Chains A and B, each alone.
Chain A
Amino acid sequence: MKLKSLLKGVLLVAVSSLLIVAVSFLGLFAFVYYNSSGGRDWGTSVSEISRALVRNGTAYTFTGEELLEEGQWLMLLDADGHISWSLYKPGDLPEQYGIADVASFSRWYLGDYPVKCWVRDDGLLVLGSPKGSVWKHDIAMNTRYLLQAPIWFLAFFLLALGCVLLLAYFAVGRWFRQAQHIRDSARSEWINGVSHDIRTPLSMVMGYAAQLEEAPGLNPKYKSQAAAIRVQSQVIRELVNDLNLTMRLDCQMQALRKETLRPEVFLRRAAADFLNGGMAEGFDFNMDLPEDPLPPVEADPFLLRRAVNNLLINAVKHNCPGGYIRLGAGVEDEMLVFWVEGGTAAEAARVPGPEILEPDGGAAHGTGLKLVAQIAAAHGGRAGFYCGTPWRCQLILPLKVAPGKSQRHGN
């Protein structure tokens, strides 16, 4: 899916670049054509008009009035700059012109009138148009610079490509984010829906299994089967809860509701809830907190409780059928460390040799530890998992205020 999106993005950039370059070149060619002799010919050809003006002795006959457009006028200057013949000449124009005047209007304007000239044997024919009807611009270029044109074209091409890439970077990036958001929302909604729908039937499985477990007169074998159904249903419940939350954290859809927490108070409450839930039967539970008060931490109590609970559940799972669990906290390298250790009675005799697990808890460890790592990351911290003797997991969080002195957990 990601590769397909990437290919689409690359295609979009390539097509955009090609379009920009094509439009640039077309524009350039159009401009060159406009400035060519064909492009310069705005209106009737002055040579054609000149042919319609014929001299008969001392007088002139003009037979090309239909060639003139509205507002156009004509005048013929002799070698001295005097007007020897004119037609519709504006009154604000002088009757005689010097070399400087001729040099100026042959290139630009005559008294703001755009004019075109035609050299004849008997003088210079000037065809004038109304003021403001034609824009004139003379182009002249050193041939030396013309030879550099390919370099200029290349530079413009690269500039256009750069602009397209820059635009594409933002446009495609945004497009990617939107696509990702839509996908994440759909995924999250789907998981949310499934987990919602599974909760009611699971309530009934758990409820009836628990009732059968307590039913008087039921065969002990069936009671233990009912207990197994109840326990496994609880495992499914935890999985559904973890899956939902892990998805929300993954898609950044879980709002953090941070509060200032006292680590000792928080841990005692989490431990009490865990033990009151009866999850640690067969385990010797101990709290290990330093004598000096721990510095406060800014955290979402719901998420942090979930993380610590998951660590405790994992300690039970990894050390079944029974042993010990230690829950503690301390300050290490200006970070607050919540830790859970566990082991079976048999493992306690082994030589310690912790094996570091993957930082995300590893796929083999399900969603439970992955969720712990996600919660730690959401708080700007990290999680560490060590499989060995003792089995140890820790949740490392940044402190709200740097501690006055470093404290080590008593382990």
Chain B
Amino acid sequence: MTLLMQEVLGGLVLGSIYSLVAMGLTLVYGVMEIPNFAHGHLYMLGAYITWFLLVSAHFGYWPATLAAAVVLSGIGALLEWVVFRPLRNAPQVHAMIASVGVMLFLEALAQWLWGPDFQRMPTPYGRVLNAGPFTVSEQQLVVIAAAIVCMSLLYLFLKHTPLGMAIEAVAQNRTGARLVGIRTHRISLITFGLSAALASIAASLIAPIHLIFPAMGTMVIMKAFAIIVIGGMGSIPGAIAGGYILALAESIGGAYVSTNYQDVIAFALLALILFLRPSGLFTKGV
């Protein structure tokens, strides 16, 4: 029972991160219809920038997290402007290939700037709390709470601000949104920035628990793709639910079946769901 509880806790922590990353991915997909293969590498870059600000510039943990998110939103917006906007009317495959190019570039860039070694991020929440046989680190609680705060803020932003509603409108129908005077290019730019910022926050949150290395985004992005396909591409509630479902399946499956095949679970689940329901489990709608 303790083992199960411990695995559920681990699953919730991982699920918080998966959900944040998948939300950004699905947001960009909903608005621009681009599966951004570089999204995981924006996550990686967020982790490195946070780490750099903490260790070399002596920022506090939260200022570093926020500053990294701001930097990443700038990088995301730049990518939309330079790479993806010119490909808007090209065949779908072209934007996907361009995002693969961005991904390869970012990984090499991180390796060049910071080397291939693993880095550990310091955290002010390093203590471990014990409750009987049950152990939990402060950072794990911080991850879960911060993810909930981010999701709530994103919900309020999308549902109750004019800008957020404009994003939703573009996701629902780009041409229609243009017709009523929404500047779709600007919305794409903002969406890309927002999505990169979400990835960066997720990375800053989990980095003190996991390690930082140039390829850290690869597995995360594939998991995030699995999640948004499971949740229905473009659906934010789907991304949140999918993130927690996948993480819980992984950590519980890893504990009771085999840690060796933990990563296979995600993709087997994805293949199964696509086989049964090619359009995803949840219906579309941001």
A and B held together in a complex: no
Which residues in B have some Cβ–Cβ distance to A below 8 Å? none
Binding site for B on A (CB under 8 A): none
